[in-house]
Amino acid sequence: MKLKILKQASLPDQLTAELNSLYDVYEYEALTREELAVLAEQFTIMITNGEATVTRQLISSLPSLELIAVFGVGYDGVDVRAAADHRVAVSHTPGVLTDDVADLAMGLMLATSRQIVTAQKFIEAGGWRQGGFQWTRKVSGSRVGIVGMGRIGQAIARRCEGFAMQIAYSDRKAIPGLDYPWIEDISTLASQTDFLVICTPGSAENQALIDERVLSALGASGILINISRGSVVDEFALIKALEQGIIAGAGLDVFSQEPEVPQALLRRANVVVTPHMASATWSTREAMSRLVLENVSGWAKNKTLVTPVPALEP
């Protein structure tokens, strides 16, 4: 008999098709409460994505659950404490998306400071015939502050080196072997940078980490880039900072209430927005899919995972 899997959030079609060919896959959204109650005991594996929420309530309603496999590196939507309490393992897809996310961060830095989107609109509106486009901010040689120096933060730093940027970072601790200056306090880091790039994971602890104070420190010539999670930035404070010229601009791939993006962040010359697409390239989404399949099949065969999430701190 095929293993029953609960698919709790949307996944790429190709991955869904492969899962369907190997397992008995049930769409959470399509199940009625009664159907879920009947099947609950039979699900040992649940698959979700990086944007979905997996609550303690859901975890405890599935008594046989052993694994939550996340399609994404970020697993802030999963109540990992509840998973640990129920002895449920969690896997994610780190590594394979690092380059894409770092690439998009660079794209947002360039697009925001060089106003590429606004420049295109300028041509489309016929503005060029009346004269050239306004001058913009130089990227090469500027200062970047990276908040969260994990795999993605370090990949961004390497790219910034190619732009001859001065790099500093903030993290809970200085990372051994990294030569960039570590500045513990994020406001201090922000006050010394032209670009503040947010790469730290979403979590309760990081909720609104980038607040009014940090944005004020970033200052009127500073640009905020966020490719992490919307929850890490206080979006109200960000809007205020943009409206009042407290910061110079923002490049954002993530938002607090996706897929909703506050109107105040749209149609602004100094803000570039993308729809949480940092890892959404063909090859990376395929690699993420493969990793999910490997984790699921490893677990199904002998309870092993290729990429478990890091163990919880006690």
Which active-site residues does the annotation give?
229, 258, 276
CA dihedral 202, 207, 213, 216 (to 10 degrees): 40
Residues 230-269: x where in contact with ligand 8YV by CB under 6 A, - otherwise, as a string: ----------------------------------------
Asked if residue 73 binds ligand 8YV (CB under 6 A), the reply is yes
Please tell me whether residue 79 adopts helix, strand or coil conformation.
coil
Which neighbouring-strand residues pair with 45? 5, 67
Quote the least distance from Cβ 310 to ligand 8YV, whole Å: 14
Residues 270-299: x where in contact with ligand 8YV by CB under 6 A, - otherwise, as a string: ------x--x--------------------
Nearest to 276 by CA among 220, 202, 188, 184: 202
Q: Where are the beta strands (DSSP E) in the chain?
A: 4-7, 24-27, 45-49, 67-71, 89-91, 143-147, 166-170, 195-198, 223-226, 249-252, 271-273
Asked if residue 49 binds ligand 8YV (CB under 6 A), the reply is yes
Token pair, residue 270, equals 């100094």
Binding residue for ligand 8YV (CB under 6 A) from 7, 25, 46, 74?
74
Binding residue for ligand 8YV (CB under 6 A) from 8, 15, 43, 51?
51
Quote the least distance from Cβ 52 to ligand 8YV, whole Å: 7
CB 242 within 8 A of CB 270: yes
For residue 124, the 8-state DSSP code is H
Binding residue for ligand 8YV (CB under 6 A) from 23, 26, 71, 180?
71
Query: Which residues form the interface with ligand 8YV (CB under 6 A)?
Result: 49-51, 71-74, 97, 276, 279
